Amino acid sequence: MFAVMTTSRPSCSVNSFNTVRAWAAPLLGGALVALSTLASAQTPAQAQAGEALARQKACLTCHQVNKAVIGPSFADIAKKYKDDKKAVDRLAAKVRKGGGGVWNMPMGPMPAQGQVSEAEAKQIVAWVLTTK
């Protein structure tokens, strides 16, 4: 306690330095958050559009974000492919063609999702991969 009191007796210049630091820290934190959002390739607006499309295209009849139902949970899918740079293309193709063999769900493989275009499938899968 005594030590804190002696070191915190500010001279004028130390005081203004502390003021700058207090002001700069949250600013720097905000910049880092913005950077990491950019690095994840999906802006929040893009992710939101992907989620809306998943709802509209009935993916959520079989998938939930955090719970395996008929299909595996989207969060589990995102974890499985987190280091796979080709996942969006490959999974989007599989969504359109349908198929099984990876998750071996009791209800069987995923039927072909012909209601989505290639671009829509990629948009939805890109969102799916953010849900981990």
Per-residue binding letters, 94-123, with ligand HEC (x by CB under 6 A): xx---xxxxxxx-x-xxx-x--x-------
| Stretch of 6-14, 22-30, 43-51, 70-78 lying at the interface with ligand HEC (CB under 6 A) | 70-78
| Stretch of 17-25, 28-36, 42-50, 65-73 lying at the interface with ligand HEC (CB under 6 A) | 65-73
Residues 78-93: b if buried by 16+ CB within 10 A, e if exposed: bebbeeeeebbeebbe
Angle at CA 101, nearest 5°, toward 96 and 102? 85
Query: Least distance in Å: CB of 42 to ligand HEC?
Result: 15
Backbone angles phi, psi at 10, to 5 degrees: -85, 140
Q: Which of residues 47 and 59 has its CB atom nearest to ligand HEC in the complex? A: 59
